[in-house]
Chains A and B, each alone.
Chain A
Amino acid sequence: MQNIYLSIVIAPLVGALIAGLFGKKIGRSASHWVTIGGVGISFFLSLLVFQHHVIQGAAAYNDTVYTWMVVDGIKFEVGFLIDNLTVMMMTVVTFVSLMVHIYTIGYMSDDSGYQRFFSYISLFTFSMLMLVMSNNFLQLFFGWEAVGVVSYLLIGFWFKKPTAIYANMKAFLVNRVGDFGFLLGIAGVLMYFNSLDYADVFRAAPLFATKTIEIIPGTEWSLMSVVCILLFIGAMGKSAQIPLHVWLPDSMEGPTPISALIHAATMVTAGIFMVSRMSPLFELSTTALSFVLVIGALTALFMGFLGIIQNDIKRVVAYSTLSQLGYMTVALGVSAYSAAVFHLMTHAFFKALLFLGAGSVIIGMHHEQDMRKMGGLRKYMPITWITSLVGSLALIGFPGFSGFYSKDSIIEAVHASNIAGSGFAYFAVIVGVFVTAFYSFRMYFLVFHGEERFRHNHHHAEDSGIHGHDHAVTPHESPWVVTIPLIMLALPSVVIGGKTIGSILFGDYFSGVIYVEHEHDTIAHIAEHFHGAFSFAMHGFIGLPFWLAMAGVGSAWFIYMKRPELADAFKSKLSPVYNLLERKYGFDEFNQAVFANGSVNLGKCLWKFGDAALIDGVIVNGSAKVIGWVASIVRHVQSGYLYHYAFAMIIGLLGMLTWIVVR
């Protein structure tokens, strides 16, 4: 099997290298074929691996590919751990990636960086697979940073756009703040476990459950809490949790296919995956779990609010991604790791679908992203319309759709938990349901229903311009390379939740992979009431979340379709709230003022006063000046006049004689 695992990783890398290095030579279509081929191979082999491990029930595979280095008795290796969690991630990543590759043919068809784009997304697939298939912290960190770099390259893909190259640098730096914690967490693991191998660390973890360390002398800190919180800071960066979420909305500067692949379906869920992988560590610290829970709940609730006021179609989906990542993090906090990963999977499908749908709308609207200039598109783009509706229903958790199963499980799990912070978290996820439904259907109605607002805008342009006629703006359905992936993603968005909930949450899919302490086991609580997927869905219709979601959809319809003037009225009545949301709670301004400008000013001060004034000014040039000054005085001694020297000699002789006589 090792060759198969290796091929899954290598195939997209080879595709990326060929398209990246020789793209100009082999041309556009060869470039997309070679990368699609690579990812296709990966996906196909991942299915084989799925069959091997999940259906035939083969044991987990854990082995080394090569030794990176051995230092000080510690082995640093590159290797694979293939268990049911990995298999799920591999299948999801390669499937979504394949869909995005195909979609890109249509979306990027008239872009001059076509080959480069394909090279990057294949490289991303390689990096993401390295991350999820790793069996040790070193390779995890490699994949972690590598996806970050590809994300950087893709957000800044249109490198002439000032906003894009600002956004990509911001994304990388904010992620680096997370990685800073992550690296320290890894260092902590190495210090106490003397190994970076998952199996070794997890095996030894219980021995350190009560170990305390002194970070500030005289205070005792639980080792596992420190290590887990440090690791989670890494997840906060990658999975965009408050306060490290600020990069994700800006990442929408990148082309839409990567927003779907990287900033919705896969990379941003790496943090969720990582914490689930580390469940044997996190289970040892309720402090860390509470921390995770509260951060997740804050993200789920407050990021949802921001989705309400966005007018850019991609930004609505971006904020919804933030909020959904918050849901997953909440699930981690209440030890419902399997529910988190389950939501990760269903979210990957329906959120990729929503993004690609948004992208399809953007192509159809000739690169217009403002929803205020859309409306009534269902007539022009039927496939995009239906698939987007499917995605939205899945997102709001309409019973029967995939998102319902995963989201409802999370809500139930939070309800069943009694860990510190779970009360607030329950409130957050419940309110979040209403908010999600509201902004999702606000977007849906504004784009696909109601008045066709694009015509007005165009007439303005035409009045003054000499441009042609309607044909330039009439929306059109996207080509098949775009719509096929939409359909392919819509299918699992409907069915996969119901099909798999039984085995993933309540079966033994994750037995031996995810570890939960008995007293934290919230999923076991739900399992008591679980009587199959169908009755779970039926039961959903009488639950509070369903009615909140319906209320959200209803209010969105009433405010934006029935009485559009209400939206403006709210906006002016609630202007303080609106302003707060408009300014995204001030995070960006704060970071810019304190961290960005702060470090630049600090750097200037240190340079001016430390290097230039103190070291060079006083010490270096100062001592040179002192030497020069002393020399300028002493120089007079060497006057060149014989009588000066003779005089000095006589004085000296007298002095010596006096000394001899006097002593």
Chain B
Amino acid sequence: MLSELPLLSLTIWTPILGGIAVLFVGDDSPAKARRLALVVAVATFVLSLPLWTGFDVTTAAMQFGEFWPWISAFKINYHLGVDGFSMPLVLLTTFITVLVVIAGWEVVQYRVAQYMAAFLIMEGLMIGVFAALDAILFYVFFEAMLIPMFLVIGIWGGPRRVYATIKFFLYTFFGSVFMLIALLYMYFKSGSFEILEFHQLKLGMTEQILIFLSFMLAFAVKVPMFPVHTWLPDAHVEAPTGGSVVLAAITLKIGGYGFVRFALPITPDASASLDWLIIGMSLIAVVYIGLVALIQQDMKKLIAYSSIAHMGFVTLGFFVMFAILRSTNSLSGAALGIQGGMVQMVSHGFISGAMFLCVGVLYDRVHSRQIQDYGGVANTMPVFASFMVLFGFANAGLPGTSGFIGEFMVVLASFKGSFWIAFLAALTLILGAAYTLWLIKRVVFGEVVHKHVAELQDINTREFTILLVLAVAVLGLGLWPQPLTDVLQASVNNLVQHVAVSKL
């Protein structure tokens, strides 16, 4: 019965319409706006659950499909559907949004209704990005999503928010314009905007290279990959806690998703010949960004850089298959890499969200993000300290937490590609532990030296609940990743088979 409902449309439009309703409730009754926002977020999350429970793990085909003609003159359709790649990301979005709404409960006092509405509308648009099977529909969601994030940083952000928003907007917009050209080109070649038809479209090598590069530009900015990453630390630093959480947990994933939905299947030969570029940029992300993270004095900047380093594993996992193919003449290990990248995305959603929430908890009390303003937090906030240490270890990729699985899989797969790729990637064991534990040491441990730290109150029930839910997610996935890998399996194998066949 459930499967007959247009579930994807419901998960997209419930938060968008709900968000508009929250706007109408208005700022004069913030309490009502909060309550309504929570109801909408929870309802969306509940609506998204059947996508998982009703998901058929045996097939790589699109499920929960919906198809309505939209602009028939240009054959643009409202076409939705999810497979193993997108379904987990849709659930991640609905899950994180609930937490973000709760996280903003008492903290946001300025324009509450608009704050909540922005996040709800953004949620719907991001789900749209993951569920769209029509290229124009995808592009509309992809660009529209920028607006609420732009507003969130621009209105509720820190002192340099204007610089950050403009940088964020221009960076991402710059990338996506090229993607639009590529999409239009393929429309003129195939006469359709169906993404799945693009997958089958025959393309020459030059075409593939150009299309690949335009996709790469669009998605590398989102991920973000070195060297187009510098918008992220600025955006994170200026964004309010909720904005940082959504940015790190979900927005970045759109970049990774773009690679598996567009770049790899549409331009397999270009991907194979330019894999060194992506692998090189990913490894730089792991090593270079890891070192840069080490010296950050601002907690949010440090976590932002750590996000970039972790996302390096995503892109590395996706593209290491070509190195494997060259070095072993076999595809064994290719699926391991791609699954590793996907698992890393979901896991990073939990962990980076949790880390930014932890910083938010401290920021709400002390109003500083500087590491030197803390020290000895464990003395006054023991419960919070336990959570932060747990998430810190997850961030450092400790086995038993979700942070381990993706990195482990990608390193195992990389070894098949080349010893040196694995060598550089595995450096994250040292660098990741170094920047995370050094942060923990300076913030959580030690004597209390500042008066404001001595006066800290431990987390309240609301904060405790959010962190507990994330802790359960991080540990649950870490101890038993099979439910997630089963969902991914068919789609990943299908992608590997598809990419292995040349389009030339």
Contacts and interface: CB of A to CB of B under 8 A. Distances in A.
Interface in B151-189: 167, 170-171
A224 to B, nearest CB: 15
Contacts of B332: 72-73, 194
A186 B412 contact: yes
Contacts of B167: 620
Interface string A623-662: 0100000000000000000000000000000000000000
Interface stretch (B22-30, B243-251, B288-296): B288-296
Given A145-B398, A172-B433, A606-B291, A191 B416 contact: yes
Contacts of A172: 433, 437
A41 to B, nearest CB: 22
A588 interface: no
B306 interface: no
B429 A607 contact: no
A180 B427 contact: yes
Given A172-B437, A603-B291, A160 B482 contact: no
Given A169-B441, A600-B294, A146 B399 contact: yes
B426 A180 contact: yes
Contact of B292 (A188, A190, A603): A603
B485 A69 contact: yes
Contacts of B93: none
A599 interface: yes
Nearest to B170: A624
Contacts of A190: 412, 415
Q: What are the 4 A-B residue pairs with the smallest beta carbon separation, nearest first?
A: A187-B415, A603-B291, A603-B295, A142-B399
Interface stretch (B139-147, B275-283, B334-342, B347-355): B334-342
Given A169-B438, A183-B411, A602-B291, A149 B393 contact: yes
B170, B291, B408, B480 — most chain A CB neighbours (10 Å): B291
A611 B415 contact: no
Interface residues of B, number: 58
User: SS class of chain B's interface: helix, strand, loop or mixed?
Assistant: helix
B230 A74 contact: no
Nearest to A602: B291
Interface in A374-430: none
Given A176-B430, A615-B227, A159 B291 contact: no
A188 B415 contact: yes
Contacts of A69: 405, 480-482, 485
Interface of A: 66-74, 141-142, 145-146, 149, 152-153, 156, 159-160, 162, 165-166, 169, 172-173, 176-177, 179-180, 183-184, 186-188, 190-191, 194, 213, 215, 599-600, 602-604, 606-607, 610-611, 615-616, 619-620, 624
B482 A70 contact: yes
A177 B430 contact: yes
Contacts of B429: 176, 179-180, 183
23 contacts: A69-B481, A71-B336, A71-B339, A141-B399, A145-B398, A149-B398, A162-B447, A173-B430, A173-B434, A176-B430, A184-B411, A184-B423, A184-B426, A187-B415, A187-B426, A215-B420, A599-B291, A599-B294, A603-B292, A606-B288, A607-B295, A615-B227, A624-B170
Contacts of B336: 71-72, 74
Contacts of B431: 599
A180 B428 CA distance: 9
B65 interface: no
A607 B423 contact: no
A160 B433 contact: no
Contact of A146 (B389, B400, B405, B426): B400
B238 to A, nearest CB: 15
Contacts of B393: 149
A624 B296 CA distance: 26
Contacts of B441: 165-166, 169
A71 B230 contact: no
Given A72-B336, A602-B291, 15 more contacts: A69-B485, A71-B409, A71-B489, A141-B408, A142-B399, A162-B446, A187-B412, A190-B415, A191-B333, A191-B412, A213-B419, A599-B291, A599-B434, A604-B295, A620-B230
B430 A187 contact: no
B340 to A, nearest CB: 8
A509 to B, nearest CB: 31
A183 B415 CA distance: 10
B363 interface: no
Contacts of B379: 160
Contact of A70 (B415, B480, B485): B485
B378 interface: yes
Contact of A611 (B170, B292, B400): B292
A173 B426 CA distance: 14
Contact of B481 (A68, A599, A619): A68
A624 B231 CA distance: 14
Interface in B481-497: 481-482, 485, 489
A71 B487 CA distance: 11
B473 interface: no
A187 B414 contact: yes
B292 A160 contact: no
A419 B478 CA distance: 43
B480 A68 contact: yes
A642 B481 CA distance: 71
A149 to B, nearest CB: 6
A187 B447 contact: no
Contact of B437 (A67, A173, A611): A173
Given A72-B333, A600-B295, A611-B292, A169 B437 contact: yes
Contacts of A179: 429
Interface string B368-386: 0000000010110000000
Contact of B378 (A72, A142, A159): A159
Nearest to B479: A68
B21 interface: no
A661 to B, nearest CB: 39
B387 to A, nearest CB: 12
B339 A187 contact: no
B173 to A, nearest CB: 13
B376, B378, B404, B482 — most chain A CB neighbours (10 Å): B482
Contacts of B296: 607
B291 A68 contact: no
A160, A166, A187, A606 — most chain B CB neighbours (10 Å): A187
A191 B445 CA distance: 41
A156 B398 contact: no
Contacts of B171: 620
B383 to A, nearest CB: 10
Contacts of A73: 332
Nearest to B340: A71
B325 interface: no
A142 B480 CA distance: 13
A69, A156, A172 — most chain B CB neighbours (10 Å): A69
Nearest to B337: A72
Contacts of B427: 180
Nearest to A221: B419
A221 B47 CA distance: 56
Contacts of B292: 603, 606-607, 610-611
A184 B447 contact: no
Contact of B415 (A68, A146, A191, A602): A191
Given A146-B400, A172-B433, A190-B415, A183 B482 contact: no
A160 B376 CA distance: 7
A12 B480 CA distance: 21
Given A188-B415, A190-B415, A615-B227, A159 B430 contact: no
Contacts of B17: none
Nearest to B167: A620
B31 interface: no
Contacts of A67: 482
Nearest to A162: B446
A538 B379 CA distance: 58
A600 B293 CA distance: 10
Interface in B191-238: 227, 230
